[in-house]
Structure 1
Amino acid sequence: MRVLAAMSGGVDSSVAAARAKDAGHEVVGVHLALSRMPGTLRTGSRGCCTIEDAMDARRVADLIGIPFYVWDFSERFKADVVDDFVAEYQAGRTPNPCMRCNERIKFAALLEKALALGFDALVTGHYATVLTDAAGNRELHRAAAWAKDQSYVLGVLNSEQLAHAMFPLGATPSKAEVRAEAEARGFVTAQKPDSYDICFIPDGDTRGWLAEHVGISNGAIVDRSGDIVGTHAGAQGYTVGQRRGLNLTVPAPDGRPRFVLEVKPQTNEVVVGPKEALDIAELAGARFTWAGLAPQHPSTPFDCEVQIRAHADPVPAVAVVRDGELVITPASPINGVAPGQTAVVYVGTRVLGQATIDRTVAAVPASV
């Protein structure tokens, strides 16, 4: 097959591209330039897709012996990821830009261009597995190494995208093995640290970035009764479940710590309360998709597991499509769920689908 390998400049995508070449595919490497602002994605940043990363990817492509290109996706990235991130925070939600990047950039814009240019598949360094059932339907499954499993951030993929996705690292038992392979191949990326933080906020100061791009102002921190218990320097700088950094001037009656329960950008308020008030008994989202075949009867409740963060443990649950929403009821309350997060639904190792969380139902009502 003729395949396009997305090469971020990290060790995982380097080895994935090399394995695709070893498997006999005709491979072309591509690195995505996601910013035109030289001070944003710069050499030495803690994100990914920097100038340094592009150079590393080119060196690896030369060693593998494949053509290599840099494609400018900065305009699309700003519109579909950065602007979405800002809009979500302005609405008081907690977005996941990595989910949006996989959904709208790597497996929408990039895959669309690849197919238009005659490529058969897109190769990435994600730790996940695509299996084919007896009827020929493609399914997304967890990677062999659960510690590195990245199927959560791929939960946004649909059937058409899975049909053209290749993940050569899915069966690899450990990241150490990938690094050892890269070392043996002479890749400059072999011992390169993993990227982390949000790539377009390379210094890791999300609150400062939001202050510049969203615009923030002082407001009140209130308890669940609406009484003012402190002040804040911008509601968008807080997330559900946060404990540290709260400027509280009125102690809780029971003396226990308080946590952010809700962010209200419309009134510029941050609502705080006890930890148990973070327990969620139900979550739902109208923006849901299926990764491959949908359940045969989604309007009938079915057993599953739900995961709400990339590295969280899956929780047994029951899901159902009701009134245009994917409604998920965990077997035991999940702590600290925020609107805007993504709930990924699993059946065994298979990723069944996902929903962007629009609303939650607390396990303990505010009046209790």
Structure 2
Amino acid sequence: MATLLTATDIAALSRLIDELLALPAADRADWLAALAPTDQHLALALQSMLAEHEGSRAPALGTELPALGDILDASTPKPGDRVGPYRLLRQIGQGGMGSVWLAERADGALTREVALKLPRLAWDAGLAARMARERDIGALLEHPNITRLYDAGVDAQGRPFLALEYIAGQPIDAWCAAQSLDVPARLRLFMQVVHGIAYAHGRLVIHRDLKPANVLVSADGQAHVLDFGIARRLHDSEPAGPAQTLQGQHTQTHEQHRALTPRYASPEQISGETLTVQSDVYSLGVLLYELLTGTSPITAKRASPGALEDAILRGQAPLASSRAPVRATARALRGDLDAILAQAMQREPARRYPTADALAQDIERHLQGLPVQARPDSWRYRLGKLLRRHWLGFGMVALGLTSVLALAG
């Protein structure tokens, strides 16, 4: 008999499929074979989801997959379908846990197009209340670097949906590569992201899933942070399982707390500890590290579930300058940017920048040639900064003194 997956299983699937899809294709079979005993019952579901993502046949013909029952909507969306008040136009994205469609209002209320996110999994009986909370969070966030959440709900068939501002753009890492941006240009683009996150923090909202795929850059070079779908308000106080707290208050559920992308998650997210704005600061550090070096700061020693999480909890990221692809980039990263990234990605939240604004200010100081807070203060460091900022003036003075001394001699 098929086994019904619980809400906790669904949360585990969300986390595991993200880990699986982040691996090179050649490593995925070994990863699945090394599933922890507590996750073995999810192996076939993961294989099925992977097969769908890759557009191939599901494994083991005739094998009975776990029944998702009411939790998994077996219907596949197609153009022309109605989801709530929206009509699907074309699919614009797909992942292991859902799809994103360009859609329009079908009831004539508005004419704008939206990006309609359709999670594959209906989480639990409290889904309608959760979607109402998503609308509440979306109403708080009106910023040029944050994608607007217009609507969230559950349609007549029980399918959840999120209606987002449609941005025609590229993920920030792809944009940087396509534009061949140098280090200062990447920093200025990244600053847009930090300003958007700092704005959200000022309204007591943390994102919790910052990664390149959740930052789109439009053709005019504007960065847009999207997918606040697992965001949480800092003063939420709903009952939850043990260790699921946020600023000393309980988050909604264990399942939503674990809805994260491990590669970009902070150590406290991985271990289920208290989350503050400094969790997003850590993820911003990981994102910037990748934008500047093209590599992830923390890598697992083996391709298995939990290996990356262990590395995040115990590992130490090498200096970004040591991972730079070319010497010119390494020179640009050495010193200030190495220090800024190291402080943003400290394992202990108290040792990171206290806010996203503080991170932005240090990056701005670096761009202006001023001393940064992440580096130890000394007269030599400050003098070096002063000389680099005013090298022309100091050069003219030195040339004048040399001329005077030559004439005097």
The structure carrying a bigger helix percent of its residues is: 2
Q: TM-score, normalised by structure 2?
A: 0.27
Q: TM-score, normalised by structure 1?
A: 0.29
Instruction: State the structure with more CA Rg.
Output: 2
Larger RCO: 1 or 2 (CA < 8 Å, sep 6+): 1
